[in-house]
Structure formats: structure tokens, C-alpha cells
Structure 1
Amino acid sequence: NTLRFKIAPEYPPETRLTALDNGLRVASEETGHATCTVGLWISTGSRYESEKNNGAGFFLEHLAFKGTKKHPQTALEQQVESMGAHLSAYTSREHTAYYMKTLSKDLPKAVELLSEVVQNCSLSEAEIEQQRGVVLRELEEIGGNLQEVCLDLLHATAFQGTPLGHSVLGPSSNARTLTRQDLVDYINSHYKAPRMVLAAAGGVNHDELVDLAKTHFSGVSFEYEGDAVPVLSPCRFTGSEIRMRDDGLPLAHVAIAVEGASAASPDIVPLMVANSIIGSFDLTFGGGKNLSSRLARLAVEEKLCHSFQAFHSSYSDTGLFGIHFVSGWTAQWYTRCLSHINTNTHILNYGRRIPLAEWDARIDAVTPRLVRDICSKYIYDKCPAVVAVGPCEQLPDYNRVRSAMYWLRF
């Protein structure tokens, strides 16, 4: 018998997109399954926040499922459990999402609950104070995760003086002082219909989803008070560094990045391929010297580091392309890392859902020459942003790091 595997469906489902009168967009992809995922994605996050209310979006995420004006927390939890569903949310720098995984037959109830959570969150003073403690504890836990600290500091230095440098969680000082009115103002400023996408995939009918959206979201405002329309100011990348030396820590966490491509840029696919070529490595991986990434093999053979991970974070108008590594001997590993680099949410971002076949064609069109050209465009002779936390005394001076970004100048 021959085993046959199929990576993608021969006839991928059509993505349908409809805009309501208030500007809210409804997108769906019907697969005929007995389950579905439906969610509301909103163009808001820490990039839309100020120094004063940084962390408001993350705070609201914690309050989202603590009860609505129609469903107290216990009733809301019982509703979700009785459906056998999973209700969750997340906040990033440019997006906030509330979504539910459930049976297809329960789609109407799922959309109703999502509408309640987003539009009628109770925001009681008691819940705010309770969640304030939860958020502060979570901030304390994140402070112990040096990888998260490192990447947050990388954004802070790379996009210093711009909103993209804000942390998603916000500072603990804001978590202590945010008031109910601050949260209400945040919702009134950013939860607007033209910035929302109701998306569903699985066993869903598009016309039914549009009708549900009209029923539950047609009342979402599309108007702003006065001149209060939030403008997404352009972000400026700055080559710079932050070092937090602490010789009491066993390992150094270091990240180096250059400005990458935006989410809608045609350069995004070649950079994703370059990201895969660099790859990742951890001492706990198997494979030893047989790892596919050349940099990973060097890390094993020369015992350069404990782990590394290439990354590409893309935003609406810019991005970060770089690598994060954990090492006890930063100087040798840093040199290897730079040498290797020198040689080698769809509706909101694109306004449409890019089909799998189109992604496949884009990836197939990437050639070694194209990857080299794109890497040269974004990496060669560019000022990097550098962050180091831990015993980083041996990390080369920033000027030496900058000079390592090119070989010869003519």
C-alpha cells in the first residue's frame, strides 16, 4: 500500500468578504466541517496607546470575560461550557482579537457572545481592582522571562520615541493607575466598526454570518467625537542599543535586528525564506551535527550557544528582522551570527484573504539570488538595534557591531 499525503486541498475554499453599512467587514471561508472558529479582529493595540494609557488594551483583555451587562461572569462561563466551546483573546502591538472555537450549529450563539464581550463588558470597579492585581502579577512573571524582556527592549530601542516602542503589557506604573474612565475612553476611541473584521472559518455559511453581523454589530459606531480620529503615526527605526549587564545571571540574552519589511511588502516572502534558512537551535534538540540549518550545525560543532531563534516581526509599515540568542560566551557567538547573516492577520493587513495557492506561488518564485538581493537590501551596511541582558561584558562595542554589517566600501 502507498501512503499519500496532501499538503493543501486541491480546490481550496473560497474566501468571501462583505462590508456592512457601518464599515465592519465580514470574512468567511467555508470548509463544511462540523466545527468552526469565529472571531472579531480589531485594529488596535499598544501602538495606538500613549505613554499615559500604555497597557490599556492588555488590561481590557483581562476584563473581557469577567461578565457583561447581560451575562455575569458565571453565566458567561456556563454558556461557553454548555456549548463545549473555547473562548479566548489576545492583544498585540497592532491588533486585538476575541475569538471562539465551537460547533458549527452554535455559530449564532458564538457571535452573540462575542458581541456582548466586545460591546457590553461590565467594567465594574470590583473586577477592575481584582484584575489589576492579576495584571501586576503577570507583569512580574514576564519580568523573569528574559527572552520576553529582551524582545520588548529591542522594540523600545529600535522604535524609540514612537508608539511602536511601547510594550504590549505596559509599565507596572500604568497598571496601578489606570481607571475605569481610561478604559472606557480607550474603547470609545478605538472600537470602531471600520477597524473591525468579523472572520469565521469551518462549517460556516457566509450569508448567515453576514446576517448575524448585522443583528449584533450594526450598532457599532463608525463616528468619532470631534477631531478625535486616531492617526497611526509613522514609526522611525533607529540603530541603537540597550545593555543591562547583570553578572549574577548564568546566561546572556542578546538580540540583534535590522529594519524589516512591512506586512504588505512584496519583500516579505523572501525575508520569511531567509528567516527559515537561519532557523533555530536549542541544546535540547536532537540531530547534533545533522541539523538542516548551517548556523545550527556550527552552534553544535563549536559549542557557540545554548539556543538561538531567527525572527521577523512585520507591522503595517515596518518590521524587525533579526536573531535572538542565549549564550555564556557572547563575543565568539556574536561574530558567527553576524557572519552568517551577511552571507545569506490577512484582511487587516492586505484588505483580502490571500489564498494558499497564491502563497505557494510566491514561495516558489523565491530564488537564491532573490534571497541574497533582499538580504543585502535590508541587512548589508545597515545600522542594527542591539539589546543585551545578563553577563554581556564580552559583547563587542556598538561601533564594532556596526562595522561588522559590511565587508568593503567603495
Structure 2
Amino acid sequence: MFRKIYQRRTLLYHHTRKICKGPENVQTLELPNGLRVVTERIESPLACVNLFARVGSRYENYDTNGISHFIEHMAFRGFTSMDCETVACQVNNLEAKITSKTTREFQVFSAVCPSTFAGDIVGLLAKIVTELELSDQEMDCERNIIQQEMKWLDMNPKKVMFDYLHETAFQGTPLANRVIGPSRNVNKFNRDCACYFMRNHYTPTRLLFVAAGDVSSDTIAAAASRHVGSTECETKADFSPCRFTASQVRFRDDSMPFAHISLAFEAPGYKSLDYLPLLVAKNYFGSWHRSQGGSDRHASDAVRAVATDNLCEQLESFYIAHSDVGLWGVYFVVPNMNIENVIYNIQNMLMHLCCTITKNDVERAVNITKLELARRIDGVVNSAFDIGVQIMLKNERTPLQNIYQDLSRLDPKAIKAVAEACIYDKPLVTAAVGPTEELPDYNRLQAGQYWLRL
């Protein structure tokens, strides 16, 4: 028995290929079937094991939009080798906490457990893509849960507004699809549809295991190779480039107390060289909520203006970066009669960002960005997720020290160049939900995106 196990492990690592170099505590391996395994050695009694899949609404079409999110709901409703109760019992025995998330470009199943059980967790997560039991009874149960989730999302104006923002900015492309999908698709999903999608999308070359904690890369790689075999893909699953459309969408509802509005611009994606400068620009703009104190002592001019004059309830800048494209903009919650005043201050701040940003402004924004990036890898859970996102979106993991060095080299000239390329006199997209009577016409908004300069 010992000889057989030894021979199998020797065969596995004879064909395993190390595909990149990183810090000494991080190892990235590619198994013979194309499955990638990344481990980060951290002194911690707990380990976090993530299974990433390259699926999401961007890989779906009109008829399958929402199927990835549906499969996420079915993940632990039972496998072919064990029923739902047995799965729950095994999770309890492994002392694990399991969560899941589906975005437009990837899906992740995350488990936190004692480090000694990391290998067993890999086997449990692998069953999601190899042994998922899609019974009609369980699918009907999850269908009702998803419908309730849709009602909850429709009652959240911020989420509705950002869904509208993607739909109008990337209209006619897969990136406009909602993650949860439309109700017409959720009501008709069945076992055949889910099995066909999984057979073409949940293949080893599109999967990634990430483990962070006091774990061994040999243990994780052996468990992953044992439970995920080679699977043939019937069709090539990939997404096409997206097209940005300058436009405006508004859902007027005068019964709401506040309007939720966003102004956004087309921006480079996660793997672009301009990602860090745009992240610094976002933090230069800043954010504010009415619950904060010190309204007249904020560094950002726009934040200080809306705070001291009580113009809005909330204001925050955002940078939504997908793999090859993104949206950079400002989101704010405002009473109807203050919309024009808030927009004036926002666009004035955007012009300062493009034209008059100073060295002190850049240093402050860079320090905030460094803190934000450090928090992304704080602890095994955050670190495992950050590694997976980097590899899924740009196929490599950049150490934090290298990112800090790139940030320290940024100066006002670099920020102005990126801001002028993405913001100054560039077409914008607007989404608004609520009492939007005072929201200016699109042409007026576009006219505020430049200064007359001599």
C-alpha cells in the first residue's frame, strides 16, 4: 500500500510544472491536466482554501445568463457520493466555514478550517465541479430562494443603480449581464442546462486552487490532482471584447427620499499598467458619509464642499476593474434639489485631478492606496482571495513589495496623464435611481468635463 501511494505521488510531481516565481512563501504549480495550485505559507492555526472558476455572467449569453449564480446555490445541496445531510456533517467534522461568491468574471468557493484539514477541504470543494448532484427537487428549492434574493436586490437602490450602470455602459455585450440573471432564465433552468454549462466551463484549465496558512504545497497539489481529473471541453468557453457606450439611464421614482446617482468613465482593466495610477486617483478623490465627523477638515475639495454645506448623504469614488476594461467614477446619494450642486463640485474636482493635482495630493493618495492594498492581504482569508483574483484576472501574482515600489514612483505628471486620458473631455456614462427630476441632461453633464485653457 505504501509503495502504491509513493509511486503515485512520484508520478504526479514528475509532471507538475512550476509556472512562476514569487516570494519564498508562495508556490505556484500547474498540474498535468492544466489545473493550477497556489499555496502561501503563513504562520497561522487556520488555513483558507479557495476554489476559483473562470465563470460568471460575462461567459453567459441571453439564454444562460444567471446559470453560474444558480450553480453556486446548488454547490452544497448534495453530491453523487453523498447527500446534503452528509455534506453538512462532513463540513462540521472538518470544523470549516464555507462561503461562496459569483462575480461577472469569476466564481469562488472559500473554506476556512484548521490547517491540518486543508487537504480534506480540497477534496470537498473539488466535488462541486466533479460530483454535483442536480436533483429537480433541490433545484426547485433553490429557485425559490433566488427569486427572494431578486426581490431583495430590487429593494437595494445602490445595487440596482450599479446594475443599470453596467447595462448602459456595456450595452449589447456580455459584461452588461447581471450576475443573478433575469427571472425568465431562473424559472427555466434545469439539470440538462446546468450539466451542459458545467461540462464546458468547469474544466481543469479554468479552475484554480489557492491555499493560505500553515499548509504544504505537496499536500494541496496531491489532493487537487487526486480529485480533479482531466475533463474534455466540448466548446471553447471565452468572452469577447466589450464595447463601451457613452449613455445615460435613469429610473425615476419620486417616492424615494434620495437619488442614487453615478458618473463614470471607461477605464483600463485590472492587468493594465494604468491600474495603480487610477487607484491612486480614486483615493485622491476620497469618500464621505454623513455619519463621519470633521466635515470641514477633509483633504478632498469635493468631499469638503458637500460635507460643510450638507449637500448629500454619501459620496464615494469607485474603480471597478475587470480583466480588460473597467469603470472609474463617483457615486453619491443626494436629495432631489441638491443634485446640480453636488455634480458641480464633483466635476470641478475631476478637472483639478486632471490639471492641478500637486505633489502633496499624490503623496497622500499613494499612502491611502498602500493601506488599502495592505488590507487586501491581511490574514489568510484576504490573502488567499487576493492571490486568486490576481491570477484569475491577469494570470500572475505581483508581490506587495513590488507594488509599493511602483506606487512610490508615481508623481503628479503621471496621475495627470492617466486622468487626462480617461477623464478629461472623455465620454461619460450616467445611471440614476430615485427622484431624478433635477438631474441635468446628458449634454450638459458632458460639457462639464473640460476647462477652457489658454
Q: Which category describes the TM-score, using the shorter chain as reference length?
A: over 0.9
What amino acid is the match of 2:391? I
> Contact 1:12–1:356 at 8 Å: present in 2 too?
no
User: In structure 1, how many angstroms separate the alpha carbons of the residues matched to 2:36 and 2:345?
Assistant: 47
Match for residue 175 of structure 2 among 145, 149, 164: 164
1: CA distance between counterparts of 2:182 and 2:176?
12
Matches for 1:8-407 after TM superposition, within 5 Å: 13-217=24-228, 219-221=229-231, 223-225=232-234, 228-328=235-335, 329-344=338-353, 345-407=389-451
SS of 2:307 mapped into structure 1: helix
Residues 27 and 39 of structure 2 are in contact (CA less than 8 Å); yes or no, is this contact kept in structure 1?
yes
Shift of 1:314: 0.8
Residues 252-299 of structure 1 deviation map (CA, whole Å, 9 limit, x = unaligned) = 110111001111101000111111111211111222222343322211
% identical aligned pairs: 34
Structure 1 residue 303 displacement after superposition: 1.5
1:358-399 deviation digits (Å, cap 9, x = unpaired) = 111122122122112111111011110101111111111001
Cα drift, residue 348 of structure 1: 1.5
Query: Once the 2 structures are TM-superposed, how far is the Cα of residue 197 of structure 1 from its aligned partner?
Result: 1.0
Deviation at 1:89, TM superposition (A): 0.9
| CA root-mean-square deviation | 1.5
SS in structure 1 at match of 2:249: strand
Matched residues in 2 for 1:13 and 1:98: separation?
A: 26
3-state SS in 2 of match to 1:174: helix
Give secondary structure in 1 for the equivalent of 2:208.
strand
Unaligned runs of 5+ residues in structure 2 are: 1-21, 354-388
Which amino acid in 1 is paired with 2:431? V
Shift of 1:12: 6.1
Q: 1:311 touches 1:323 (CA, 8 Å); kept in 2?
A: yes
CA separation in 2, counterparts of 1:87 and 1:260?
Answer: 34
How far 1:13 moved relative to its partner? 4.8
* Count of residues in Structure 1 that have an aligned counterpart in Structure 2: 396
After superposition, give the CA deviation of every residue in 1:198-233 in whole Å (9 maximum; x if it has no partner): 11111111122111111111x141x322xx212310
Corresponding residue number in structure 1 for 2:363:
none
Give how far 1:152 is off. 0.5
The residue type paired with residue 332 of structure 1 is: N
Which is helix-richer, 1 or 2?
Answer: 2
Task: Report the Cα distance in structure 1 between the residues aligned to 2:315 and 2:73, rounded to whole angstroms.
Answer: 31
TM-score in terms of structure 1 length = 0.94
Whether the aligned pair in 2 keeps the contact of 1:27 and 1:200 (CA below 8 Å) is yes
Structure 1 window deviating more from structure 2 (172-181 vs 131-140): it is 172-181
Give the Å deviation of 1:133: 0.4
Q: Residues 32 and 204 of structure 1 are in contact (CA less than 8 Å); yes or no, is this contact kept in structure 2?
A: no
> What secondary structure does 1:167 align onto?
coil
Q: Distance in 1 between matches of 2:153 and 2:78?
A: 26
SS, match of residue 278 in structure 2: helix
- Structure 1 CA distance for aligned equivalents of residues 102 and 331 of structure 2: 22
Cα distance in 2, alignment partners of residues 72 and 310 from structure 1: 45
Partners of 2:23 and 2:301 in 1: CA distance: 35
Quote the offset at 1:118 in angstroms: 2.5
Structure 1, residues 122-169: CA drift from partner, whole Å, max 9, x if none?
111000000000000000000000000000000000000000000111
Mind listing any 5+ residue stretches in structure 1 that lack a counterpart? 1-10
